[in-house]
Structure 1
Amino acid sequence: MEFLNGTFRGSTYQTFESVTDEIISRHLDAKVNRTIGIYPMLQDETCWFLAMDFDKQNWQQDAAAVMETCKEWLISASLERSRSGNGGHIWLFFSQPVEASIARKLGSAILTKTMERRYQISLESYDRLFPNQDTLPKGGFGNLIALPLQGIPRREGNSLFVDEAFRPYDDQWRYLSGVEKLSLDRVQSIIYELTKGGSPFGIHSWNDQEVDESPWIQTESNDHSSVISDSLPSQVNVVISNMIYIEKKALPPTFIHRIQSLAVFQNPDFYKTQAMRLPTYGKPRVIGCYEDFVQYIAIPRGCFEMMDLMKTHQIEAVISEDVIQGIQ
């Protein structure tokens, strides 16, 4: 893979090659196996776009769900089928350089809103954002993403922008020319609208420091007591075993997502690595300790804050125990 600016990272002395029409032509040429990749983050830690990466088995369903969220909130987003055809990227383009941290908040807010509507989306998607970190790693350029419209994959219908039915647009250039670019004001407005001033994750604050000054004080962004407006059942069956199993029957996705968030926490290793300006690839920003079954959502036994959540929404928890008693 070639790099924009010709960056070669395996040498003490780096050389930079200008992007020319010839280099771009090789990327677009279906007879030449060449791909241009780009490091999204600039030296001042801003970026011109945000890309969300989906590459699991159910990538189409997850990407479609995110695109539905973008459509609902009038957010201009473009879906590209990846070079392999087994994944996709959702691109959001900016009209001006936006701080990487703000761009990532935008992506996280969109994913969180999608999870409220469709809680099955994987938490791992949070760390498939490009840029992949808020700050430039020490001595590096961040994470590389391949640009769309690579010549050879295009022959198979890949590396192309697609519509809601995953059909490539007939004229890619005409499609791209009509894509709206988001201004900084619009980005900040979307983040606020999606989060209501709280956290893009719906859990904890966006605090990159290793330790909060007063972690025992609950803030607006990690308060699970805000009332959900969706219709809720009067009773929910809860089984206490190796984990706490909450029956999902009649529970709306927004409430299930709220239960999930009780078992999600920020990964201290991610923030320690980021603070040292080292690559954070493969280190999730957040860690989820819940399990999703067909009939139940399971959270660790220590998450009894779940009872407060039930009480706030006037739901009676019908508790039964299925545990093995130890020898007396």
Structure 2
Amino acid sequence: MDDAFEPYDNQWVFLSTVKKVPAVVAHGLADGYVVPGIGGGKSRWSSEKNTVIQNDLATQNGATVADSAAPETAAAQCLTSLQVDVTLDGMVQLRKYQLSQPLLADLSQMAAMANSELFLKQCMHQRIYAKTTPRFLWFGEENDDTLCLPRGCQGAAVPYLCECDCEVDLHDEWTFGHMIHSSFVGTLREG
């Protein structure tokens, strides 16, 4: 079909005139493509994507700071307050209001992995139901104000936030519990 969505009279003739696109052009197009809510075609450490994330964070932080502070201090804080509070307890907790949507999507992807059971069922030509065999397994938790990632994601999440020029403020609230002193009172059977 042409640009007006009209079919070509002889599509084989048209297809024979199509030239191969050089790899450099294809990579340039892939690097520039951004999927809404997920991110760009480059790796998650792309400097262009970091610029977008920083702009989103600055706009978002500027809006939240302006609600509670004077306009002149809000502008100054907006430029310096790309701070993300990370709380470590049973999981790595991130406050969603401090993160932009692309940043939340990238961090959320860190807690996901492909479901190997799905691929085994596909190889054996078994039926696959979306409710019982999802394509991806997500091990995070999300509520209204926090995104919780497994503690194993801390090694990837914190450097990624630093790579996006966010100031990470770690709060380690991990508790090791306390020892309970007890002794056995009773008799054991012989056996």
The alignment's TM-score, normalised by the length of structure 2, stands at 0.54
* Structure 1 partner of 2:44: 224
* Structure 2 partner of 1:259: 107
Q: Secondary structure of the residue that 1:271 maps to in structure 2? A: helix
Q: Which structure has the higher relative contact order (CA within 8 Å, separation 6+)?
A: 2
* Structure 1 partner of 2:88: 240
Matches of 1:195 and 1:269, distance apart in 2: 32
Distance 1:198 1:283, change over 3 A: farther
* Structure 1 partner of 2:164: 313
Q: Which residue, out of 267, 275, 280, partners 2:123?
A: 275
1:285 matched to 2:105? The reply is: no
Aligned length: 121
Larger helix proportion of the pair: 2
1:324 matched to 2:175? The reply is: yes
Matches of 2:178 and 2:115, distance apart in 1: 37
Residue deviations 1:235-287 (CA, integer Å, cap 9, x gap): 11110011000111232111111110010100000011111111111310101
| Correspondence 1:151-166 to 2 at 5 A | none
* Structure 1 partner of 2:13: none
Give the C-alpha shift of residue 308 in structure 1: 1.6
Distance 1:295 1:223, change over 3 A: same
More off after superposition, 226-235 vs 309-318: 226-235
Distance 1:222 1:325, change over 3 A: farther
Give the C-alpha shift of residue 202 in structure 1: 5.8
Matches of 2:173 and 2:164, distance apart in 1: 26
* Structure 2 partner of 1:178: none
The alignment's TM-score, normalised by the length of structure 1, stands at 0.32
Stretches of structure 2 that go unaligned for 5 or more consecutive residues are 1-6, 8-28, 58-80, 180-191
Q: Which residue, out of 276, 300, 317, partners 2:150?
A: 300
Q: What is the identity, as a one-letter code, of the residue corresponding to 1:310?
A: L
Give the C-alpha shift of residue 223 in structure 1: 3.9
Stretches of structure 1 that go unaligned for 5 or more consecutive residues are 1-94, 96-192, 204-219
Distance 1:289 1:308, change over 3 A: same
| Correspondence 1:81-160 to 2 at 5 A | none
Matches of 1:308 and 1:316, distance apart in 2: 11
* Structure 2 partner of 1:118: none
Q: What is the identity, as a one-letter code, of the residue corresponding to 1:237?
A: D
Instruction: Say if 2:31 and 2:42, in contact at 8 Å, map to a contact too.
Output: no
* Structure 2 partner of 1:12: none
Q: What is the identity, as a one-letter code, of the residue corresponding to 2:114?
A: Q
* Structure 2 partner of 1:27: none
Q: What is the identity, as a one-letter code, of the residue corresponding to 1:322?
A: E
Matches of 1:314 and 1:280, distance apart in 2: 42
Q: What is the identity, as a one-letter code, of the residue corresponding to 2:121?
A: T
Q: Once superposed, what is the RMSD of the aligned Cα atoms?
A: 3.4
Matches of 2:95 and 2:170, distance apart in 1: 11
Residue deviations 1:168-217 (CA, integer Å, cap 9, x gap): xxxxxxxxxxxxxxxxxxxxxxxxx8996799x969xxxxxxxxxxxxxx
* Structure 1 partner of 2:3: none
Matches of 1:202 and 1:264, distance apart in 2: 13
Q: What is the identity, as a one-letter code, of the residue corresponding to 2:169?
A: V
